[in-house]
Chain A
Amino acid sequence: MSTAPIYEIDPKTFWKDPYPDLKRMRAEAPIAYVPQLGATLLTRRDDIFENEKKIEIFSSDQPQGLMTVLMGQNLMRKDGAAHMAERKAIFPSVSPKTVKSVWKAQFETETAKALEELRPLGRADMVKDIAKRVSGEALKAITGLTNMSWQEMDRVSQGMIDGCANYAGDPEVEARCHDCTGSIDRHIDGMMPLLRETPDSSMLSVQMQAGLPEEAVRANIKLTISGGQNEPRDVIAGLVWTMLTHPEQLALVRDGKATWLQAFEEYARWISPIGMSPRRVARRYEAKGVTFEPEDRVFLMFGSGNRDEAAFEDPERFDVTRDTSQSIAFGAGPHFCAGAWASRCLIAEVALPMIFENLPGLALAGEVPFGGWAFRGPLEMPVTWGTIVS
Chain B
Amino acid sequence: METISVTWILLDGTRKSVAVETGGNLMQAALDNGIDGIVGQCGGSLACATCHVVVEEAPSALPEIAPDEDDMLDMAEPERLPESRLSCQLVALPELDGIVLRVP
Contacts and interface: CB of A to CB of B under 8 A. Distances in A.
Interface string B84-98: 000000000000000
A91 B68 contact: yes
A291 interface: no
A228 B35 CA distance: 33
B75 interface: yes
B59 to A, nearest CB: 29
A328 interface: yes
Nearest to B49: A96
A84 interface: yes
A97 interface: yes
Interface stretch (B3-11, B15-23, B39-47): B39-47
Contacts of A328: 41
B71 A53 contact: no
A336 B39 CA distance: 13
B79 to A, nearest CB: 14
Contact of A96 (B41, B45, B50, B75): B75
Interface size class of B (residues with CB under 8 A): 10 to 19
Contacts of B71: 95-97
A334 B42 contact: yes
Contact of B45 (A95, A325, A326, A333): A333
A336 B74 contact: no
Contact of A84 (B45, B50, B74): B45
Given A95-B68, A96-B71, A325-B50, A333 B42 contact: yes
B39 A326 contact: yes
A336 B75 CA distance: 16
Nearest to B37: A325
Interface string A312-338: 000000000000011010111111111
A372 to B, nearest CB: 23
A336 B68 contact: no
B25 to A, nearest CB: 12
B99 interface: no
A96 B74 contact: yes
Contact of A332 (B43, B74, B75): B43
A88 B46 CA distance: 9
Interface size class of A (residues with CB under 8 A): 20 to 34
A84 B75 CA distance: 21
Given A96-B74, A97-B74, A325 B47 contact: no
Contacts of A341: 75
Contacts of B50: 325
A55 to B, nearest CB: 9
Contacts of B44: 334
Contacts of B68: 88, 91, 95
From A84, A325, A336, A338, name the one whose CB has the most chain B CB atoms within 10 angstroms: A336
A52 interface: yes
B39 A53 contact: no
Interface string A64-103: 0000000000000000000010011001000111000000
B39 A333 contact: no
Contacts of B43: 52-53, 332-334, 336
10 contacts: A53-B43, A84-B45, A91-B68, A95-B71, A97-B71, A326-B39, A331-B41, A332-B43, A336-B41, A336-B47
Interface of B: 39, 41-48, 50, 68, 71-72, 74-75
Given A96-B75, A325-B50, A340-B48, 15 more contacts: A52-B43, A96-B72, A96-B74, A97-B74, A328-B41, A330-B42, A331-B41, A331-B42, A332-B43, A333-B42, A333-B43, A335-B45, A338-B47, A340-B47, A341-B75
